[in-house]
Amino acid sequence: MKLRISILFSLLLTCFVLHAQSFNKVDRHARNAPNEVEESTALLTDYLVAPYDNNLEKVRSIYAWIAYHIVYDKAAYKKGNKRINQSNQDVLKRRKAVCFGYSTLFEELCTLAEIPVEIVQGYPKNIENGSTNLDQINHAWNAVKIDSTWHLLDLTWASDFNQRDLDKYFLVDPKEMIQTHLPSDPMWQLLDCPVPPAIFQKSSIYITAYLNASTPCFTYLDSIESYRRLPYLDKLMKRTLNSYTFNPVKENEEAFGHMYMDYVTDLIDRVDALEQRNEIDSVKVLHLKIINNCEKASRYIQLYDNQKENLAYSHMNYAVALSRELPETDDVEKKLAEMLLHFEKAEELLKSLPSSFVIENSLNQLAAYLDWTRSY
């Protein structure tokens, strides 16, 4: 019996060693990348993935190159400059980054290699004392899809803590990753029942007990696939909504409000294009969307003066569009009341802003609109 156990242990140990050594050749290829291919992300990606037919080795090659060649920018981190790199090209040039630089570079290289990838933002635990700050999203790592399975990895920690042991933070078991990394969007835990913030703040004993006791309550694969099919702005909205719902702290609340205003910026650009084509009906619809998004945003954040001004013009332009419907409408009084409401809101917003030539001109125009509407 002891002999059989000994043989079994030996086989398991051999399998472990083979697994640990299986990426040695890939890591060596990545580490020895020639200088000329490191000048652009496209050239670098081509070099890193060219020898491999499977996505596992391609991902490992990309991961290894970044871990070996990009140094954690401790000076930038201490100064609170979380986005010191302006672009991935800047990361390649400086060879330094903080977590956001690591994760965005990995994202671009995987995307160029046609490998599904996402940046995961969230809350890390302090390795030394296990503490965490859930008031602010302050870390980024990655999720990558290899074949049909999503995996987690953290290049920042792989590079910062031990460049010679890349395996620890490569394709980490989700149940292990959740001990130190809490995604702001729970679907990126890759768990059938996400760990809530209150449990994450406790020790690994509590987290493991929660995982062992929980039953499936969440289909993260369906959520991820649905999320990835969304347009860019809708993805951002979904992510910020999930983050706010999961952990409704002030920062996530404000991010949710600002996300509505990002939508507004996009809508304003679309309005400008439609106005040039004189598509009045579509313009009216977009102005109403701008108004609704601004009102939703104002529940979570204070609008800036320029945002209030844009909102005022949307109220005014929407009311003007309504006025063109008066000759065909069956309920003139109702249409006039709606117009009056929007003109008055526009006036209220403009009067709350610092005076300027443009503002005064708009107020004079509004006064004329109001007189006309009231006397119609």
pLDDT tens, residue by residue, 290-310: 999 999 999 999 999 999 999
pLDDT tens, residue by residue, 156-170: 999 876 556 789 999
For residue 259, which of 215, 289, 291, 296 has the smallest C-alpha distance?
Answer: 296
For residue 296, the number of C-alpha atoms closer than 13 Å in the C-beta half-sphere is 18
20 pLDDT exceeds 70? no
Mean pLDDT, rounded, for 313-342:
91
High-pLDDT (> 70) share of the chain, %:
90
10 pLDDT exceeds 50? no
pLDDT tens, residue by residue, 95-116: 888 899 999 999 999 999 999 9
pLDDT tens, residue by residue, 32-78: 999 999 989 999 999 999 999 999 999 999 999 999 999 988 776 66
d(CA 321, CA 313): 12
pTM of the model: 0.85
d(CA 308, CA 329): 31
197 pLDDT exceeds 70? yes
Mean pLDDT over each residue of the chain, to the nearest integer: 89
356 pLDDT exceeds 90? yes
Mean pLDDT, rounded, for 312-341:
91
Domain annotation for the chain: domains and CATH numbers:
23-186 (3.10.620.30), 249-374 (no CATH)
Question: Is the distance from CB of 157 to CB of 140 less than 8 angstroms?
Answer: no
Model confidence band, residue 350 (pLDDT cutoffs 50, 70, 90): very high
